[in-house]
Structures are given as structure tokens and as C-alpha cells.
Structure 1
């Protein structure tokens, strides 16, 4: 694995001194996520302070994120008023 050092204002190969190649496009950078607010679990009242505790609490109580729930209609539109308001058509299964 190539190791780089910072010389002359650039990262360079430690052995050859060749400048490090920078890939085209956005650079991958670490991100920092805000700490989540502390809350009491609505199921058992236990205090949840970290994301890990939240995942464990949800797993322990057989829960899923609301955004992860599948659509009851499988993404098909069945409400005529909803479809008309948005310029869509009702799915064949619900006509």
C-alpha cells in the first residue's frame, strides 16, 4: 500500500516523491452527525441516549422505523381524488 507524506504543499509518495493522484469528482470526506436528543422509550420508558441504544431498543421490542414500513398498496394508487389532485391515474388493480 502506498504511503503519502505532505511535502512542498502537496501529498507525495513517500518513496518516489511523485504527487498523489486526486480522483475526479467530489472527494470522500468524513461527516459528523449531531448527537441525538435523549428520550424515554415509548414502549418501556427506558431512557435512550445514543443511536446504538435506539437500534437495540427497537430490535428488542420488535419495532421498525416508520420510513422503513412497506406501503400497504405496494406503491399503487387506489384513491381517485388523490390521483386527480396530483395528475396521476388510479392503478389497474383498483379501478
Structure 2
């Protein structure tokens, strides 16, 4: 049972402590909710879960986007691109 984010004994209501460190609470699992359903922008298949997303990326030869992969590190340098989308060109490319 949890109380204020700490596991507690059901019978006593006292915090459950780690055997190694009697001052530290017992570690509890951290659960991440699944992603909302969407259609793959590459092949249109429905993606229902994180595992579906990983499979979709692999199947289509794609990788998760990271700005560090971009030659401009995610900064905008093309004036026409920026103007069309209502964005601003990054300082170092003006």
C-alpha cells in the first residue's frame, strides 16, 4: 500500500524501509503510461503502443528525432521555409 508516495505496511501503516538502509524507503516501481493511438506518417498503419512505435520505426528505416542529429542542430536557416511557416530564422543564420 502507498501513502504519500511511500510504501507502507497495511497492518501498521508504518513506512516500509530497505533492509540495506533502514532509513531509506523501499523502492517502488515507476510506471510510464502508454502513448495515445496515432497513424504512422510513413505507411498509415495504426500505432497503439510504444512497441508498435519501435516496430514502425524499424520497419520503415527511421530513427527517433534528436536535434543533435541535424546539421543545424534543429535551428532554422532557410528564410523561405521560415516565412512560409510563420517562423524566424535562427540568429546565427541571419
Please report the TM-score for the alignment, with normalisation by the length of structure 2: 0.49
Higher Rg: 1
Q: Which structure features the higher share of strand residues?
A: 1
